[in-house]
Amino acid sequence: MTGWQFWVDRGGTFTDIVARRPDGRLLTHKLLSDNPARYADAAVAGVRELLDGSRDPVDAVRMGTTVATNALLERKGERTLLVITRGFRDALRIAYQNRPRIFARRIELPELLYERVIEVDERIAADGTVLHAPDLDALAGPLREAYDGGIRAVAVVCMHSHLHPAHEQAVGELARRTGFPQISLSSEVSPLMKLVPRGDTAVVDAYLSPVLRRYVQHVADELRGVRLMFMQSNGGLAEAGQFRGKDAILSGPAGGIVGMARMSQLAGFDRVIGFDMGGTSTDVSHFAGEYERVFTTQIAGVRLRAPMVDIHTVAAGGGSILHFDGSRYRVGPDSAGADPGPACYRGGGPLTVTDANVMLGRIQPGHFPRVFGTDGDQPLDDALVRDRFAVLAREIRDRTGDDRTPEQVAEGYLHIAVANIANAVKRISVQKGHDVTRYALTTFGGAGGQHACMVADSLGIRTVLVPPMAGVLSALGIGLAHTTAMREQSVEAPLEPASMPGVLRTADDLEAAARAELLAEDVTEDRIRVTRRAQLRYDGTDTALTVELAGPATMRQAFEERHRATYSFTLDRPVVVEALSVEAAGIAEPPDLSALAPYE
């Protein structure tokens, strides 16, 4: 290695940076993600501060970012057009009519990501029979009208395109000739069955990819000539040019999973619960020798079919606001963020979980970064925190008669936050058949160490692992991650010997495409490792479980073992291969982790 490397995790409150100097020494830096008075972009500012005039070259910058997540949550993506098979213009809006709150009298649907719909007169049957070729002449006018109206992103969703993409490709080519710079075909973005999640995934990709592209270009302009790589939701890295909206939703948290897994294994633990508590939220995860991924999920009211590390998030972070409504305590879900931040940040913010820890002496201002105040050089304001909790304790006493001290009030709020986190851990462990008492709790994130023992006690976990650089482990994990390409394809074939030649041919095609992507990113053939998996389900059901691709008997046995562990029963039914997924990873030379000892 001849130059610098920077591994950056841009979170909701703090941006964490781990830098590896040309001599192998590791440096860390932490700064507020939003501080418009001092800098426009925290990642770029942090890199420049760590370089501090160094003339050594920068080999690479690896980043995990919340840009796409924030754009989705705040509905600030690109103006998007949906082109869909005639008769299905409302299919994505109607969706599955799920009722998460079954007794709610007023159903509030999430805001749509697309602002206009064009129906294309086309239809292709599931067996590939063309019932009606796409009427491109009739489509050209509405497409031009949408383009002239300022829309620049289009998602194309046709029936059965996951098996027969020709009609989508024809519509996409017409959109390209019209001038649309962002075109997301569902058959390319998510070539899997089920129109609704496939369509939603294409819309998300069209909606977020331009936002990501602008951010990537901004960073590239600020750091000219530097190789940029971004963390994907699946736990692997992608070159900046391959980074897509659908793969960016869990970009930051995925780095934490990689760092948690690698550091836990180095410490001799291969069954761990990851506990990543940051300023805005807490992410919990399960690891038992391999990354657990989900292929269908719902985020911010939008269904996605894209491989993601399995993370459950709760709104309980260091910045979660403490509420008292006259009769009960409540923690979150709203957060003080980085601006104004918790009360102790000297920004005029409300009382938060962080303030409760300051009140109880679990955070000592003398050991916390001095990055607060107008000039960004002041410590935490613990005196203000004591005053604010004294006022809150008096309010509680006046309104309820509960004569608790300010310290007891702060502790009560912490118990509520810990209970929320413990319930999240049970969701990804106990509810999936794992005995959590046999695991270690690996804690990281800026607020993890303050709450790890309380969380472990509430779950019956006897071992807590605090790895080196736990406060910036997500950034370290981004540095330890491999370049990854994943491909998926619907199959819908019975799990029997007669079907296996076709299944294996599809897997070979997916592997060839994944390998080609890595080779195009300068990963050498000898460093590529491929994993092939099948998603199986019982015939007549719609819940698939993932197993390694092997012979029919081996896969059925593995499927039934997982089904019994997850649902406590098996069925006497045929098994169907619903889809295949292939993961190709470019195994990078690992950094010398012995350098973790003398980091600054």
Apex 328 CA angle, 327 and 330, nearest 5: 145
Q: Is residue 392 part of a domain?
A: yes
What does DSSP assign to residue 481?
P
Q: Which of 197, 224, 252 is the last residue of a domain?
A: 252
Q: How many Å apart are CA 483 and CA 490, to the nearest integer? A: 24
Domain that holds residue 15: 4-72+213-252
Share in percent of the chain as helix, strand, coil (round to 5): 40, 25, 35
Pair (457, 334) in one structural domain: yes
Cis before 253? omega within 30: no
Pair (279, 359) in one structural domain: yes
Stretches in the chain below the pLDDT threshold 70 = 1, 590-600
Q: How many Å apart are CA 529 and CA 506, to the nearest integer? A: 18
Q: Is residue 263 part of a domain?
A: no
Q: Which uninterrupted H or E stretch holds 153? A: strand 153-157
Pair (57, 197) in one structural domain: no
The set of residues, in sequence order, having a beta carbon less than 8 Å from that of 253 and lying 6+ positions away, is 64, 276, 283, 309, 311, 313, 474
Pair (238, 180) in one structural domain: no
Judged on CB neighbours under 10 Å (0-12, 13-18, 19+), 179 is exposed
Q: Which of 477, 495, 526 is the last residue of a domain?
A: 477
Q: Is residue 47 part of a domain?
A: yes
Pair (176, 292) in one structural domain: no
Q: Check residue 599 and give its pLDDT.
A: 41
Pair (236, 274) in one structural domain: no
Q: Check residue 221 and give its pLDDT.
A: 85
Q: Is residue 600 part of a domain?
A: no
Q: How many DSSP H helices and E strands does the chain contain?
A: 15, 27
Please count the structural domains in the chain: 4
Distances (CA, A) of 540 to 98, 302, 494, 572: 20, 26, 12, 12
Tokens of 573: 């039914």
How many CA atoms does the CB half-sphere of 432 hold within 13 Å?
16
Q: Is residue 567 part of a domain?
A: yes
Q: What is the CATH number of the domain that holds 28?
A: 3.30.420
Pair (148, 240) in one structural domain: no
Q: Is residue 491 part of a domain?
A: yes
Q: What is the CATH number of the domain that holds 541?
A: 3.30.1490
Q: What is the DSSP string of 428-454?
A: HTGGGT--GGGSEEEEESTTHHHHHHH
Q: Per the confidence metrics, is the pTM higher than 0.85?
A: no
Q: Is residue 592 part of a domain?
A: no
Q: Which of 227, 252, 277 is the last residue of a domain?
A: 252
Q: How many Å apart are CA 580 and CA 547, to the nearest integer? A: 10
Pair (575, 540) in one structural domain: yes
Pair (126, 64) in one structural domain: no
Pair (194, 245) in one structural domain: no
Pair (318, 417) in one structural domain: yes
Q: How many Å apart are CA 358 and CA 365, to the nearest integer? A: 8
Distances (CA, A) of 385 to 154, 375, 390: 50, 21, 9
Q: Cβ(212)–Cβ(248) under 8 Å?
A: yes
Q: Check residue 595 and give its pLDDT.
A: 52
Q: Check residue 593 and give its pLDDT.
A: 63
The set of residues, in sequence order, having a beta carbon less than 8 Å from that of 393 and lying 6+ positions away, is 404, 405, 406, 408, 409
Pair (118, 189) in one structural domain: yes
Q: Is residue 258 part of a domain?
A: no
The set of residues, in sequence order, having a beta carbon less than 8 Å from that of 285 and lying 6+ positions away, is 256, 257, 260, 273, 274, 276, 292, 309, 310, 311, 312, 428
